Structure 1
Amino acid sequence: MILLNSIDLLAFTDIFQLSNSHLLLTTEIAQADPSIVLAGVLLSAVTIYFAAKLGGEICAAFDFPSVLGELIAGVIVGVSVLHFLVFPEGGIEAGDSLIMQFLQMTTDLSPENVAVTFHLQSEVISLLAEIGVIVLLFEIGLESNLKELMEVGTQALTVAIIGVIAPFAAGTAGLMIIFNIPAIPAIFAGAALTATSIGITSRVLSEMGQLTSKEGQIILGAAVIDDVLGVIVLAVAASLAKTGEVDVGNVIYLIISATGFLVGAILLGNVFNRSFVKIVELLKTRGGLIVPAITFAFVMAYLATAIHLEAILGAFAAGLVLDETDRRKELQRLVEPVSDMLVPIFFIAVGAKTNLGVLNPINPENREGLIIAAFLITVAIIGKVLAGFTVFGQPDLDKLAIGVGMIPRGEVGLVFVAVGASSGVLSPALEAGIVVMVIATTFIAPALLRVVFKSNEETVEASSEIPSVAETTS
């Protein structure tokens, strides 16, 4: 998935895990016609935006999050179905791309230059997707209100911690013991089980009028903490994938550095905010707020990569810092169109690279992948539901509703898939299994939330209708 060190152009070929036969030599690059490469990028962009809007609108019509529609649309236009948008990974050749075939029919693209054009076009789209995920994490950071996070109390913190530890431990151990999957891929898949989608859960709770309920507040608080913990887990898992081995010292360093990076950014937030506001007030031309904000996000992303963390961690920290500014709401509004243009590239690319054909039950070799997907879905659901039952001190709370509200992985889970795929640590079956888990939990959670809260309301109404002893004796 494209995403790790978007700014580290020197590691460009490492990001895409290209084999020696796929490396682009300077002479080959010189043979590619820039105008045809641009045409390929433009056709890819048309495919991405058309698929993203169509998929998003269809899902929104059925009351599901649009991001899920983008993911499914990516699967359809990608290697699994239509082959419009494919990437030179996993043995995919230029001839498998319908966009390349169309370019050959409509331009003077020669057969000997098809491969190099295909690689360059794919790499441009992949880099745009990487920038898209940086913007996505920046936007998530902006939406994560630190003050509200501090006010949710120990209950949300408990739910979040258990909701991270339980699925991560069960998923990692199960994959290693039951399926004999090596430690690094198992850790990565376990890490993908930790996150909770704030956007999906908050939307459903808002529609049900439960956003300000005690359960709703704990769910949202725990989801925010989950995101912080999840980004740290992701940074650790991605770095482990790079080294290819579990080094306890390295793991400790990554946890400390990632935590220290976030805490340091937050503690220095007031200094950053004052400087940011002063700079913005001096600027009089267009983009006076959004350009410095995006620049700051990119600087933080660079600093994260400079200390061997992930760019997305820096972008997330930048969002958390700027969330405290007086112009946060205006900034969120201005970031939205930037996000609308770049983030769909990320989600469509994730879906396009996911080969769900490895889960075809007709092929006996694929059955293990299906079992892995079922296992991950089970752990993903049970782990979060159990976390809901760890709430203490308030017996009147609907603990099942809290657990169910933590189930959807949504866009956050896709970030894990993307990082794992780009690092080459995930097998096709394991990658597809994680994607299926993300899709399943995202579909299941909204429906279950409605059922649980409706059942809770009916119970309250029924109990209120039962006359008290005093009423019956009077």
Structure 2
Amino acid sequence: MTAFEMEDLAARGALLVGILIVLSRLAKAALERLNLPDLLGYLFIGMALRLVEGTGLLRFVDGPQVLSFLAQLGIVALLFRIGLECTPKNLLRRLSGATRIWIANITLSLGAVLGVALFLLDWALLPSLFAAVALTATGIGVSVRIWRHTDRLGSAKGALMLDVAELDDLSGVVLLALLTALVPQLQAGLSADLVGPMALTLGLVLGKLALLALGGLLFAQYLEHPLTHWLHDLQPRPDLMISVLGIGLVGAGLAALLGFSAAIGAFFAGLIFSRDPLSVKIDASFDSLSDLFIPFFFLHVGFALDLSLLFGNLGAVLLFFAAAVVGKGLGSFMPVMNRLRPSSALTFAVALVPRSEITLLVMQRGLDLGVVSPDAFAVVVAVVILTMGTVPLALRLLLPPVTTT
């Protein structure tokens, strides 16, 4: 390729990226006015882009390749942000109250979705496992917006909801790492001969996760605080966040060298910096970077979704939606039914039903590995869209605005 051709291709790529950024910002502003998650807008833009690409209008630029590259940056930024927003120290302090709910909703969600996939839809084992793991996660941002709007996020029930959602995210990331490592063995099918190799693989993965966690703990305990404050004194915001993000990318790369995806490393890097009080400032200055890169991951998911496949899988979508709602809802309702009034327990359970970022990340990972079919991917993405669209409506009915006198 000549220098002129490279320059021409770069200009076309810049045009596409610029258009997508503007459309993403417009979608975010519009959906915020409607009190709906901006993630929905990004998915729909990605779907529209796929339709446009099908007409051949994107042949002037390699749209899929550009979007795929930016999506990888978006995944790293997304998982770093999720890790940064976690509060492990506070979570450990309140762990006893959230653990029972977390175990119940993870177990019932996993079992309900796996049962539907294997026994009602006759899916293969691997796509069933990816769908089940994906739908154990909670998209708490969908509910937080409504709870904050009704001035209930600061209540004890709101804090408990956030704790359970954080545990859901943590377990979702760990389960993704374990499942990804087992893919080569599971592709050969289950047999007694594979029990030993699978146990060894799980042991190695858990050992690597422990090593990654230990390294992160040592860094957080002895290096993070002086490093962050030194960078803060050295550089004004947002330069501080750029340096912190650079360290996060190093962590993501090291995780990849251990055999994990860069997303896992980015999540642990975010956790490292979440313990420092200065992380509140870091988190605020990260908004611009996350708003730039994170939408590209959801655009890529929407672009990967073949809408034509949904028409032949509407029954599967409804079954999965029912399993996702019942599994997460019952798993969250039953442990608190003796602690809260029935109406409050129902509201709490509904708030934990939405699925979003981690769910899409798991399914995209399965699609990239070739173990999740486009049909299975489309079904779970449709379930995500349904939960994000219906739960805010339900919560508005269950959480009327607080009246002040």
State the TM-score, normalized to the length of structure 1: 0.76
**Aligned residue among 218, 231, 239 for 2:160:** 218
2:389 is aligned with 1:443: yes
Secondary structure in 2 aligned to 1:82?
Answer: helix
Q: Which amino acid is the alignment partner of residue 447 of structure 1?
A: L
Query: Are the counterparts in 2 of residues 137 and 316 from structure 1 also a CA contact under 8 Å?
Result: yes
Distance in 1 of aligned mates of 2:395 and 2:386 = 14
Match of 1:146 among 72, 88, 95: 88
Corresponding residue number in structure 1 for 2:297: 346
Cα distance in 2 between the residues matched to 1:259 and 1:390: 30
Specify the alignment match of 1:319 in structure 2. Answer: 270
State the partner residue of 1:74. Answer: 46
- Please tell me the residue identity of whatever aligns with 1:438: V
Where does 1:166-205 land on structure 2 (aligned, <5 Å)? 166-205=108-147
Q: Indicate yes or no: 2:366 matched with 1:424.
A: no
CA separation of 1:46 and 1:241: change in aligned 2, threshold 3 A: farther
Aligned position for 2:101: 159
**Corresponding letter in the other structure for 1:394:** R
Aligned length: 392
Unaligned runs of 5+ in 1: 1-28, 87-95, 104-116, 361-365, 459-474
TM-score for the superposition, normalised by structure 2: 0.88
Question: Which structure's relative contact order is higher, taking Cα pairs within 8 Å and 6+ residues apart?
Answer: 2
Matches within 5 A, 1:16-415: 33-78=5-50, 81-83=51-53, 96-100=55-59, 103=60, 118=62, 122-241=64-183, 244-245=187-188, 247-258=198-209, 261-262=212-213, 264-266=215-217, 268-277=219-228, 279-280=230-231, 283-284=234-235, 288-360=239-311, 366=312, 369-388=313-332, 389-391=334-336, 394-396=339-341, 398-415=344-361
- Bigger Cα displacement from structure 2, 291-300 vs 56-65: 56-65
Query: How far is 1:129 from its partner?
Result: 1.1
Please tell me whether the aligned partners of residues 137 and 312 of structure 1 are also in contact (alpha carbons under 8 angstroms): yes
Q: Is the 8 A contact 2:127 2:371 kept in 1?
A: yes
| CA–CA distance in structure 2, aligned partners of residues 387 and 274 of structure 1 | 38
1:92 alignment counterpart: none
Q: Distance between the aligned counterparts of 2:213 and 2:106, measured in 1?
A: 18
TM-superposed CA distance for 1:282, in Å, is 6.4
- Contact conserved, 2:131 with 2:380, CA < 8 A, in 1? yes
Return the index of the structure with the highest Cα Rg. Answer: 1
Alpha-carbon separation, structure 2, partners of 1:169 and 1:248: 21
Question: For residue 194 of structure 2, what is the aligned residue in structure 1?
Answer: none
Percent of paired sites with the same residue: 25
Structure 2 distance, partners of 1:285, 1:199, is: 29
Q: After the TM superposition, which of the residue ranges 185-194 and 149-158 deviates more from structure 2?
A: 149-158
Rounded to whole Å, the distance in 2 between the matches of 1:42 and 1:48 is: 10
Structure 1 partner of 2:193: none
Take 2:210 and 2:381, find their aligned partners in 1: how far apart are those partners?
27
Name stretches of at least 5 consecutive residues in structure 2 with no aligned partner: 191-197
User: Structure 1 residues 30, 174: CA separation in 2 closer, same or farther (over 3 Å shift)?
Assistant: farther
Q: Tell me the secondary structure at the aligned position of residue 133 of structure 1.
A: helix
Q: Give the CA deviation at 1:236.
A: 2.1
1:211 alignment partner AA:
L
CA contact (8 A) 1:57 1:69 kept: no
Cα 1:257–1:396, aligned 2, differ >3 Å: closer, same or farther? farther
Change (3 A) 1:263 1:450: farther
RMSD: 2.7
Supply the distance in 2 between the matched residues of 1:260 and 1:374 (Cα, whole angstroms).
41
The residue identity in structure 2 corresponding to 1:293 is V
Instruction: Report if the CA contact (8 A) 2:112-2:324 is conserved.
Output: no
Matched residues in 2 for 1:223 and 1:259: separation? 22
Q: CA deviation at 1:39?
A: 2.8
Query: Relative to structure 1, is the Cα distance of residues 393 and 349 closer, same or farther in structure 2, using a 3 angstrom cutoff?
Result: same
For residues 217 and 352 of structure 2, the distance between their equivalents in structure 1, rounded to whole angstroms, comes to 25
Q: Is 2:105–2:327's contact at 8 Å kept on the other side of the alignment?
A: yes
Bigger helix fraction:
2
**TM-aligned CA deviation for residue 396 of structure 1:** 4.1
Q: Would you say the 8 A contact 1:215–1:401 is kept in 2?
A: no
Deviation at 1:164, TM superposition (A): 1.7
- Retained in 1: the 8 A contact 2:138–2:168? yes
Amino acid at match of 1:315: A
Q: Residues 36 and 229 of structure 1: is their aligned pair in 2 closer, same or farther, counting only changes over 3 Å?
A: same
